[in-house]
Structure 1
Amino acid sequence: MPRYLIITEKPSARKNFAKALGGQRGHLADYDFELTNLRGHLMTLKEPEQQVSADLKDKYASWKLKDLPWNLSDLSWKRTYIKAYNSRSKRTESTKKIIDELKSQAKNADGLIIATDTDPSGEGDLLAWEAIDAIQWQGPVFRATFTDESSKSLINALTHLQPIESKATHSAYQKGLARNKWDFASMQLTRAATTLTKKEGYPIVSRQGRLKSAMLLRIYQQLQAIQNYVKVPYFEYRFKDDKGNIYARKVDAKAETVPFRYPSEAALKDNEHFNEQSAVQEDSRKNKVTRPPKLLDLSSLSAILAKEGFRAKEVLATYQKLYEAQIVSYPRTEDKTITKEQFNDMLPLVDKIAAVVHADSSQLTHRTPRPTHVQDKGAHGANRPGPKVPTSLDSLRSYGPSAQRIYQVLGKNFLAMFAEDYRYQQVIGSLVDYPAFKTTVNTPIVMGWKQIYDDQNADQESETTTKQLGTTGHLFVYEGQNPKPATPTWKWLKTFLEKYNIGTGATRTSTYGELSSGQKAYIQDKKGKITLTNDGIAVAIMAQNTWLAHPKTTKRVFDIFDQVGKFEMTADQALDSIVKTVDHDIPVMAENAKLLKQALGEPKKRTRKKVAPKDKITGIWRGQDVTFTSEFSGHKFTPEEVQALLNDQTISFRAKSKRGKVLNISGKLANQVYRKRKYVGFKPEFK
């Protein structure tokens, strides 16, 4: 009977596997198993200077423009253990210990099973192979592909293992490797942008990246559009009936000018003449339907919660905890729908979920799959409640500040597909004397899903109150203006990223959280409304006109990664696009740097704090004339101590450290070196 070691991505995942399988060890299908876990990435690419020959080390360690761009064929692409500071143990810890434990466990295994997250980017497969390579495994490797961490899904995946012949034939790994190498090579642009920015006098790290640069540049462009906006008023005739409906002529959104709009009220009255009133007529009456909104992704969810003050970084972290507890579905999904199997798994839970989120179960009468929401494609399925339904919203408090709202919004959005369609009657009316003046009135017939979920992501909402046409329209002068650019919000930015298909919902959310958190944040977020810090403005200016920040380039790069996953090109061939991007962008950034002072003002001059010079003592020591400082650690040497020091004797005294601790110090004069400068001074003797 073969023995397989099942490698999960993190401790929480291993616990879910153990629960599904009945323990850390056991028997399943036709093999015995043992569980183990990684902790995300355990290996990382070495620094560039550690991947090249000795004669190239200085070039690849440099941030100077003369040493860029790199020749990627110089790099060995070797990996090393990850070192990080542990705030609990107060020590820097290495992942070598975990790798050594994995190697020890693998000695007794006949095969390894990759059971890391099956995310669409190939990240889970990449980090698994990093660990497998680190232990120098030469035996069989299998892949367990699961949609979530429910017991049913895990057991199904582990009983239908996919053998992997090699890394070269493993599509998900190759896709993840291509992305990993591409992002590593793009480090050149961060170095170039930072060097150019510092040269202009702004000492910041200008972090550039596929998603970061696109987001920051789009925000900056919108803020500039708002700043440069000039109000241009116009005047036109409209009618208003006795029910409050407005009748206006249709405007072609693409037209540069509108013939019936005038720059002043006088010009309007000179050129157009209408009767003061006209009877109203009904042109058409139709019954219309609005289907339930699409299922949310993580960026849409976080954009909704941002307006309530929940930050993207916190929402992502809390959602991950809820996922690990199987309360919500897999976060890093690209799917917009769920499969029929997933629908059937969730169907028995509908009423329980409704009770938790306080939705009226009697409205959830559409219990058959909707083609708009349920399709026979996808893997993880769209974001939705998980297989474990909490007892109440209050029971979720321990998972994080946003946990209750995450489940409430996600639950109601999911339940909306089980409610009936929103049905309304649309009446189009016009004026008898002037048929070009029209109005539209929507009157609800069946509220349907709108009684369950408030679609905050919809651009336009259908009417929810009863309205009707009036009988007579009355002429008035309407004053309008050219549209002012919208204030940037997380929802607005998310819509832009969706339009160009840049990143998954989870990637957008995590990147936004990174950019808007910490002392060096680039984005300031106030309940979803966003501006840029000075550092953010500097990074955005450096990204202008670069290929890296262009949304179409980003889309093309994702397509390239997909091609690698389909074996239409190799991971190394995919790097040609980053080579061309770097070659194009560095000269562009050099020109952009000249615009920094205009946007940010003159850089602040850094002034060093003046330190009063210490008194010096001159004398003869070891037969030579020397000069040394007359005090140490706040203790001023007495004449007797000075003479002892010149006689090359050890002296002892009491002094205070910078923190006020009393120290007993002994020492003598000695030749010393500070920053390559030789000098004679008091040197304490430490035991």
Structure 2
Amino acid sequence: MTYLLLAEKPSAAKNFAKALGGMSGTFNGKPYKVQTLYGHMLEFVEPHEMVRGDDAKERFKQWTPETMPWDASELTWKKQPQVTTDAAGKKTSKAKAIADVAAAAKGATAIVIATDKDPSGEGQLIGWEVIQAIGWKGSVKRLYFIDESEKELQKGFRDIQDLTSYEQDGEYVKADVRSRWDYLSLQLTRLSTHAARTQGYRVIVRQGRLKSVMTKLVADQLALVKAYKKKPFYEVKYKDDKGNVFSRSFDEDRDRFRFESKADADADATRYGPSKVIQDSVTRKETPPGKLLDLGGLASILGAQGFKPKEVLQTYQKMYEAKIVSYPRTEDKFISTEQFNEMLPLVNKIAAVVGADVKLLTHRTARKTHVKDGGAHGANRPGTSIPASLDDLKSYGPSAVAIYETLAKNFLAMFGENYIYNSIKGHIEKYPDFTATISVPLSLGFKAIFDADKETADDDQGNDPLSTGLGQTAARFVFEGVNKKPPLPTHKWLEKQLSRYDVGTGATRVSTLSEVTTGKTALLTDTRGKLNLTTIGEIAAVMLEGSMIGDPGVTEKLYKAMKAAGQFSIKPEAVLQTATQLIKHDKEIFYRNALKLHSQVGAPEPIVEKEKAEGEYAPTGEKVSFSREWNGYFFSDQEVQRLLRGEVITIEGKNPTSGNPYRAEGKLAKGKYKGNTFWGFKRLEANSYTAQTAPFPLEWSGYKFSANDQARLRAGEKIKIKAISKSKTPYEVEVTFEVETFKGVTEWKIKPHFKERPKKPTAKKTRKSRA
């Protein structure tokens, strides 16, 4: 039997080849061949392409409010090879990659899905959809692995399991129903966008089962913060000679010892005098180390340090592929006995890298709170490849050092002893209603290494100061307090809210937060972990008031329903029906709430139409209309006439984004954008010029070229200039004038030639040299 192993991506295929002895061969007595996939290789076609009948096709093609919600039972859920578009507009299809799988499968007797095993079942879906696409009718098997180390991949190969069919594969069913539900939810974005545009807002208002919940939670919390009004109050308290404060339990409905004015509190204070302190009890208590972090908790800590979710995800993935950290998309909060035993010999090495005191790591037996079997990948933790130093991690990304240091110290904390303290209770002798409970540390234990509970707490939640014990005497004072202010919504705060509802895994929450905080359609801003609404986010928040898609309780039930579908306790069709019901409900809500946008968000920005030039294009006799502005340059009447005659003109302007001056030659021409044809100024292609005839820039990075400079550069010479960096720092660099392609655009440009910096030895090379 020859196995065709489907690896999720090229890097995974390389790791399989390394573990098994090549891209093809025999391992454990079984012939195999490794074939790489490229993540998801198929996508749903347009809705009108997966319905039958001309009437249905026309109805689904419209994407109008009148045709929504769709009847999901009409959809065939047809898929096609995924098509991606790069920044230059170039489209690439996965059709060839799928054909390569089909070709490789011809010599196989079984296809083995060897993708990642993640909580959402995504890996299973990636494998099965390709198998269905190539029409494979043979045996299908599954290879599971904890990480991409040689040991785990080899173990997974030895334990390859049979899969009967995709309909009976719970992981696939769960992932498939989720992808279909998400496809149906695209209607929500179209409806909320259309509703906003009926009120004059030319924006795209994205909605989805997690992004909408995030937006609504942040919006509601910001509203609480904005509505907060500081209300001071005054009351009598006691303070002993060691600084401990004694106070009375306050019931707003019953008690009258809290006053709005200080004068009233001062009058009340005359009733109380100095007194001795009575110690009531001393109880020795212990606290074990906090939980192991998931990616959500890790990213929320790093967010406060200024690292964006997107950057943390990208850097973590690179570190995972290098085996420096464990699998990212796990939902486990513990590690297995086998994983514990594997990591135990590495504890001291990890501690040395992050500067943790090995003398504190004395608890070398497995804790029941942190180590138990039954998980898959285990909690996020350091990998088996230990860097020589934190500096060696910088090449993986800006957050690499912070990722490893935080993850490693959290992991090492479970090898520290329990935090031990005395909980002491006492009261004021003459006035026993005044009480205090203090904590006196006896041994910091794991807290001297890392305290996960403290690190993941809301930013405004600080621990009470530790005490050395109760004093002997106490004196009364007037305490000034205020009503509690709602905390600002931060990454940590949002992570806590979503965890409470068990909505998504930590990795899913981080990737979604990354999505909603980046790009032109961002709903939220993220400033060092503090979240706020963009203008589009404000619009979305108004639309979500009273909606189901913005309700975390509804989303929590949906996640449970998707899991139930994977366990075959509910039919997938029933889960999809919830999408139709939700869209029907929220459609009405969106249009009703859109009427509030002007009063709650403000009037939309007026639409400023670019001035058009019109006339007859002499070379063809066509009547044309085109914009009088191009890249910040406004064409004069004379230039408009020259363009209409078909002439090439030269213009000089400044880029409206960068402010850099430019010189360009071009003429009037037809173009296409999103399938629509238009007339406009088109810059001549680079191959239309030579070094002698190409438009030459007026300046580059703050340096203005002289006539002599231009002549030398056009002659192909390399010259040294004094430029100025973005940070206003002068520097010298050699430049040439040559053709370059950037984002699909080819043109003559000034090209800098920076001196190469000597490369630092990698951690791997350093280890070899030490050996």
CA deviations on 1:83-137 (whole Å, 9 max, x unpaired) are 112459x731100010011111111111100000100111110111111111111
Find the counterpart in structure 2 of residue 37 from structure 1. Answer: 36
Does residue 341 of structure 1 match 2:338? yes
Shift of 1:275: 1.9
2:294 to 294, 297, 303: 297
Q: In the alignment, is the contact (CA less than 8 A) between 1:9 and 1:115 conserved in 2?
A: yes
* Between 511-520 and 189-198, the greater mean CA deviation after superposition: 511-520
**Cα-to-partner distance string for 1:566-625 (whole Å, 9 max, x where unaligned):** 1112222221211221122111122211221122111122122334665999xxx99xxx
Match of 2:741 in 1: none
Equivalent in 648, 654, 659 of residue 655 of structure 1: 648
Match of 2:437 in 1: 440
The equivalent residue for 1:72 is 72
Higher relative contact order (CA 8 A, sep 6+): 1
Mapped pair 1:486 → 2:487: yes
The residue correspondences of 1:112-151 to structure 2 (distance < 5 A) are 112-151=111-150
Q: Does 1:610 align with 2:614?
A: no
Cα contact 1:429–1:438 (8 A) shared by 2: yes
The aligned counterpart of 1:13 is 12
CA distance 1:653–1:110, change in 2 (3 Å): closer
SS of 2:362 mapped into structure 1: coil
* Secondary structure of the corresponding residue to residue 238 of structure 1: strand
SS of residue paired to 2:414: helix
For residue 705 of structure 2, what is the aligned residue in structure 1? none
Specify the SS of the correspondent of 1:147. coil
* Aligned residue runs from structure 1 range 358-369, under 5 A: 358-369=355-366
Match of 2:713 in 1: none
Q: Distance in 1 between matches of 2:223 and 2:640?
A: 58
Structure 2 Cα separation of the partners of residues 382 and 616 of structure 1? 67
Within a 5 Å distance, the mapping from 1:257-656 to structure 2 comes to: 258-268=255-265, 274-455=271-452, 456-458=455-457, 467-611=468-612, 634=639, 636=641, 654-656=647-649
**What amino acid sits opposite 2:127 in the alignment?**
A
| CA-to-aligned-CA distance 1:282-333 (integer Å, 9 cap, x gap) | 1111211111110001111111111111111100111111111111111111
* Farther-moved stretch of structure 1 (120-129 vs 604-613): 604-613
**Aligned CA distance change for structure 1 residues 664 and 555 (closer, same or farther; 3 Å):** closer
SS at match of 1:518: coil
In structure 1, what is the Cα distance between the partners aligned to 2:605 and 2:457? 45
TM-score scaled by structure 2? 0.79
126-135 vs 226-235, greater mean Cα deviation = 226-235
Shift of 1:400: 0.7
2-structure distance, mates of 1:23, 1:373: 37
CA shift in 2, pair 1:148/1:241, >3 Å: same
Q: Which amino acid aligns with 1:322?
A: M
Whether the 8 Å contact between 1:443 and 1:463 is mirrored in structure 2 is: no
String of CA shifts for 1:200-233, please: whole Å, max 9, x gaps: 1111111111110110001001111111112222
Aligned-partner SS, 2:556: helix
Deviation at 1:51, TM superposition (A): 1.4
Instruction: Please give the root-mean-square deviation of Cα atoms over the aligned residues, in Å.
Output: 2.9
**Contact map agreement 1:635 1:655 (CA 8 A) in 2:** no
* DSSP 3-state at the match of 1:418: coil
Matched-pair identity in %: 42
> 1:407 is matched by which residue type in structure 2?
Y
Scaled by the length of structure 1, the TM-score of the pair is 0.89
SS of the equivalent of 1:453 reads coil
Residue 47 of structure 2 aligns with which residue?
48
CA deviations 1:20-45 (Å, max 9, x no partner) are 11211121234200111111000011
CA distances 1:465-513 after superposition (whole Å, capped 9, x unpaired): 5522222211112222221111111000100001111110000100111
Aligned to 1:195: 194
CA drift at 1:338: 0.9
Q: Secondary structure at the match of 1:32?
A: strand
Q: Measure the CA separation in 2 of the matches of 1:213 and 1:31.
A: 49
Letter aligned with residue 208 of structure 1? Q
**Distance in 1 separating the partners of 2:42 and 2:340:** 38
For 2:7 and 2:372, locate their aligned partners in 1 and report how far apart those are by CA, in whole Å.
29
1:288 and 1:423 in contact (8 A); partners too: yes
Three-state SS of the structure 2 residue aligned to 1:661 is strand
Deviation (angstroms), 1:657: 7.2
Distance (whole Å) between structure 2 residues aligned to residue 281 and residue 121 of structure 1: 57
Equivalents in 2 of 1:355, 1:636: separation in Å? 74
Residues 1:392 and 1:660: Cα distance change in structure 2 (over 3 Å) = closer
Deviates more, 1:463-472 or 1:565-574: 463-472
**2:402 aligned counterpart, secondary structure:** helix
Q: Indicate how the Cα distance of structure 1 residues 272 and 637 shifts in structure 2: closer, same or farther if over 3 A, else same.
A: closer
Return the offset for 1:661: 3.0
Is the 2:438–2:466 contact (alpha carbons within 8 Å) kept by the matching residues of 1?
no
**Do the aligned partners of residues 4 and 529 (structure 1) sit closer, same or farther apart at CA in structure 2, a change above 3 Å counting?**
same
Corresponding residue pairs, total: 647
Q: Deviations over 1:241-272 (max 9, x none)?
A: 222111111246xx667543222234445667
Question: Structure 2: how far apart are the matches of 1:436 and 1:487?
Answer: 34
Question: Counterpart of 2:469 in 1: which secondary structure?
Answer: coil
Q: Closer, same or farther in 2 for the Cα pair 1:676/1:287, shift >3 Å?
A: closer
Over 3 Å counting, the alpha-carbon distance change for 1:291 and 1:49 in structure 2 is: same
Q: Secondary structure at the match of 1:587?
A: helix
Residues 289, 418 of structure 2: 8 Å contact kept: yes
| Inter-partner Cα distance in structure 1 for 2:238 and 2:61 | 71
Query: Aligned to 1:575, what secondary structure does the other structure show?
Result: helix
Aligned to 2:629: none
**Larger deviation, residues 358-367 vs 27-36:** 27-36
Relative to structure 1, the CA distance from residue 395 to residue 614 in structure 2 (aligned partners, 3 Å threshold; closer, same or farther) is same
**SS at the partner of 1:538?**
helix
Structure 1 residues not aligned, in runs of 5+:
643-651, 666-674, 678-687
The code of the aligned residue for 2:17 comes to A
The residue number in structure 2 matching 1:82 is 82
Q: Please list every run of 5 or more consecutive structure 2 residues that lacks an aligned counterpart in the other structure.
A: 626-635, 652-662, 670-675, 679-771
**Could you tell me how far 1:653 is from its partner in structure 2?**
7.3
Q: Which amino acid aligns with 2:522?
A: A
**Take 2:406 and 2:134, find their aligned partners in 1: how far apart are those partners?**
44
